[in-house]
A and B are shown apart, each in its own frame.
Chain A
């Protein structure tokens, strides 16, 4: 069963959308597996000024995406790179045992977006 906090996050997710001209974009998953997350980032002076996401997936995938965008926003790239699945799960009041894999998914996608930014900007 999902925690109250997770369900709240799932029902009212924050930062849903696309950033036009994003500085970095990351996408993981595929429709055949039932989960796809895309994360967009806007970077200014080494800080994640804006983070948005789009997600196709279960309640855990959507809630963790929403949570990770909130946790990353306003942080330095270095800090955002180190957001772990445990951090995300904890912020959501825990995940059901079968869904722990999902909590990895959103922070991993964020890292892909950051790497995309770094590659484009040769950081």
Chain B
């Protein structure tokens, strides 16, 4: 059976060029970048070069890049680090209701520690309510953390507008760009952000590595104590093979951004059109235009997302869902609940996230298999006869 992978927002395979760049740093150039000898120098040079590469793709300075273990750590470091550092100035944080759990759970933890958090709602398309956000700002606001693009519905948030809104107010602006880097432009100066989280494995790099961009002049308290690595902000011997691979992945993504985005956007729009043409009672979740070029998130009335996912998996198609059955611990996703597609649709969502190597032929195969699966489940459904 030919397998088709359309879950690139979950993770991606490692690009062969990335793997090739990493290989020497496991057994041959294995030095500790802190060592003074030639082994250490090899590692230290690789680290500097990687830092420059990553900085360049973001329009940042190398000194503004802190390597981490990935998106979750970067989010934690940014939010907690800034909150603890600025707590004498104020204890109010603004975020949105559709953030990734790495941001939401971190904010909830800070609430337990006495910080106040405002969760900005979103409209039906999943775009944050800018007026609400602006009205939430007060004297004690120290940090705003709004994701660049949503991981489930792909909606792109108006980060530049937010940065203009808070200009000169002394509020730190953080964005989780884990899903947007490599898919849409993420120049830190154009976005106007002070901190930005990135993960390597979403852009054909290895897992377990990422970075936090932190603008010069911004200070945070480190979450870990140890050696002086990463300017003392993230101690621990650097993961050189991972960092080298991550930097290579960033460079490749940056170089091919326009080409790959256009390709995926073309597939995305045809896929949405084909699904809507073939399957009655299908609904797009998220904004039609302001969405990641690779995200197709749709709900199907009278079918349940997990069942659809399982049927597709049996045909070799890998996708994901924001819905889960009613067994008490598993509710519909917080993102879908926030945009509220309606009771008949909320449990029937599927997320297809395209990759640079997906083809139109694959899109056609997947749409056909999807149609089959939806028909099969609707025939089983007690509501199915209505359509």
Contacts and interface: CB of A to CB of B under 8 A. Distances in A.
Given A7-B314, A10-B310, A31-B343, A55 B324 contact: no
A58 B380 contact: no
Most buried by A among B311, B330, B379, B384: B330
A13 interface: yes
A90 to B, nearest CB: 18
A33 B303 contact: no
A31 B303 CA distance: 10
B383 A102 contact: no
Interface string B43-74: 00000000000000000000000000000000
A62 B377 CA distance: 10
Contacts of A16: 379-380
Contacts of A27: 382
B332 interface: yes
Interface stretch (A34-42, A43-51, A72-80, A113-121): A34-42
B350 to A, nearest CB: 13
Most buried by A among B304, B307, B325, B377: B325
A57 interface: yes
B344 A31 contact: yes
A67 to B, nearest CB: 14
A110 to B, nearest CB: 15
Interface in A1-31: 2, 7, 10-11, 13, 16, 27, 29, 31
Interface residues of A, number: 30
A102 B332 CA distance: 16
Contacts of A99: 325, 327
Contacts of A34: 304, 323-326, 332, 346-347
A14 to B, nearest CB: 12
B37 interface: no
Most buried by B among A16, A34, A55, A62: A34
A84 to B, nearest CB: 17
B330 A98 contact: yes
Interface in B126-166: none
A101 interface: yes
A109 B307 CA distance: 20
B382 A35 contact: no
A120 B382 CA distance: 22
Given A31-B383, A34-B323, A102-B325, A57 B311 contact: no
Interface string B302-344: 1110110011001000000001111111101000000000011
B306 A54 contact: no
A60 interface: yes
Contacts of A54: 380-382, 384
B328 A101 contact: yes
A71 interface: no
B304 A58 contact: yes
Given A7-B310, A31-B343, A34-B324, A55 B380 contact: yes
A36 B382 contact: yes
A106 interface: no
Most buried by A among B332, B343, B347, B383: B347
B304 A35 contact: yes
Nearest to B379: A16
Contacts of B332: 34
A123 interface: no
Nearest to A96: B327
Interface in B328-387: 328-330, 332, 343-344, 346-347, 377, 379-384
Contacts of B344: 31
A99 B327 CA distance: 6
A13 B311 CA distance: 12
A57 to B, nearest CB: 5
A11 B314 contact: yes
Given A31-B383, A35-B304, A100-B327, 14 more contacts: A7-B310, A7-B314, A13-B380, A16-B379, A31-B343, A32-B343, A37-B382, A54-B380, A55-B380, A56-B380, A58-B324, A59-B307, A61-B325, A101-B326
9 tightest Cβ-Cβ pairs between the two chains A and B: A33-B326, A34-B347, A58-B325, A101-B327, A54-B382, A58-B306, A56-B381, A35-B326, A38-B382
